[in-house]
Amino acid sequence: MRIAVDAMGGDFGPKATVPGALRAAGDFGVDIILVGIESVIRREVERSGFPKARHTIIDAPEAIGMGESLLAFRKKKASSIRVGAQLVKDGRAEAFVSMGNTGAVVYLCRDVLGSIKGVDRPALALLVPGVEKQTLLLDVGANANCQPHNLVQFAIMGKIFMEAVGGVPDPRIGLMSIGEEKGKGNDLVREAFDRLQASPLRFIGNVEGKDLFSGAADVIVSDGFTGNVALKVTEGVVESVLSMARHEVTKNIFAKLGYLLLKRHLKKIYKKVDYAEYGGAQLLGLDGVCIIGHGRSNPAAVRNAIARAREFVANRVQERILMEIPRYEHALKGVTA
């Protein structure tokens, strides 16, 4: 299996992507294609400690900044993101992995690869680790504005992903809302509720923000605006609780001792809830496999993202979405149509 990796993406760039990718090559027996500025990549390969790992380099001399705007990046024909997506399009790689600017990766992958037949809008899906089991949340930011049928498509794709990759039989689908009863929510959610209820999916109704971690649903669907806000709130809460904890313990010697004893365990929890760690989000419904890692990814997280890409390809998620989408034609057209 050949996996293209955007060597230039992420807050740490090639210093994290190159050693992470080469490590993955050895660990998973995949061929890595490093895409980016060749001279920079070569240097990092030498430094990585795995210079012999199976890899090739494809030169892509234009960089896209983490905060760069659509107007700027879409003109760059030789950016590592565009070149990486093109490798998948041309059948020269089975998947593309990037830790780069999420907006740019979503836009360029959509532009280069397009959607699977039957899917209007690919969605960015993230596995959120709960206390007991993980939940797939989608969309987490690819589509700020959604229509009811988009949410139904997200639900179908989420179901297939959780069956194929998560090993969950007949996943429970929840709809992100602000109250569990039918009728709660905004217009989008109320209409999507009816369509999901009329579908053959195992729809369990509305869920709330707190259910992101409760394990109440295996898949939670949401428009990309709400999903992204929810995700970033998570990040903020965890950071502020930890910051308060650090501040709190300086006040008292016993608390300080307690913190030291507990520190290793608190870090473990932080890793569990920190989505930078767990290998990135998948663009479901794209005609080609693309995994987007967190900008903050270290080499271990880059390796995890490549593991996700490999799982995704090995479990034939794309083919299954393509095959199953037509079964839901009724729900996609809407109950009133």
Contact call for residues 220 and 140 (beta carbons, < 8 A): no
Q: Which is nearer to a copy of itself, 22 or 189 (CB)?
A: 189
Helices (H) and strands (E) in the chain, counts: 12, 11
* 52 near a copy of itself, rule: CB under 8 A: no
Q: Is 226 in the site for a copy of itself (CB under 8 A)?
A: yes
Alpha-helical runs (H) found in 199-284: 224-249, 253-273
* Omega before residue 6 within 30° of 0, cis: no
Indicate the residue among 26 and 130 with the shorter CB distance to a copy of itself: 130
- Closer by beta carbon to a copy of itself, 79 or else 222: 222
Contact flags string 148-187 toward a copy of itself, x per CB under 8 A: ----------------------------xxxx-x-xxxxx
Candidate residues 197, 214, 300, 320; the one interacting with a copy of itself per rule CB under 8 A = 214
Backbone angles phi, psi at 173, to 5 degrees: -105, 125
Count of chain residues binding a copy of itself (CB under 8 A): 70
> Which residue is it, tokens 């050693």?
19
Residue 139 within binding range of a copy of itself, rule CB under 8 A: no
Candidates 79-87, 156-164, 228-236, 313-321; binding stretch for a copy of itself (CB under 8 A): 228-236
Q: Which residues of 172-202 are buried (b: 16+ CB within 10 A; e: fewer)?
A: bbbbbbeeeeeebbeebbbbbbebbeebebb
Q: In what order do the strands lie in the sheet with 55-59?
A: 55-59, 31-36, 2-6, 95-98, 289-292, 281-284, 123-129, 134-138, 219-221, 173-176, 203-207
Question: Quick check: 319 binds a copy of itself (CB under 8 A)?
Answer: no
CB of 260 to a copy of itself, least distance (A): 7
Maximum Cα interatomic distance, the chain, rounded to a whole number of Å: 67
Task: Record the tokens describing residue 99, joined without a space.
Answer: 């830790």
Our CB check for a copy of itself shows the closer of 29 and 65 to be 65
- With CB under 8 A as the contact rule, which of the stretches 237-245, 281-289, 317-325, 326-334 interacts with a copy of itself? 237-245
Residue 273 in tokens: 């809830």
Please identify which residue in 66, 230, 322, 335 interacts with a copy of itself, judged by CB under 8 A. Answer: 230
Q: Which of 78, 260, 314, 323 binds a copy of itself (CB under 8 A)?
A: 260
Q: Could you list the residues that contact a copy of itself (CB under 8 A)?
A: 67, 69-70, 103, 130-131, 141, 144-145, 176-179, 181, 183-187, 189, 208-214, 222-226, 228-241, 243-245, 247-249, 251-252, 254-255, 257-266, 268-269, 272-273
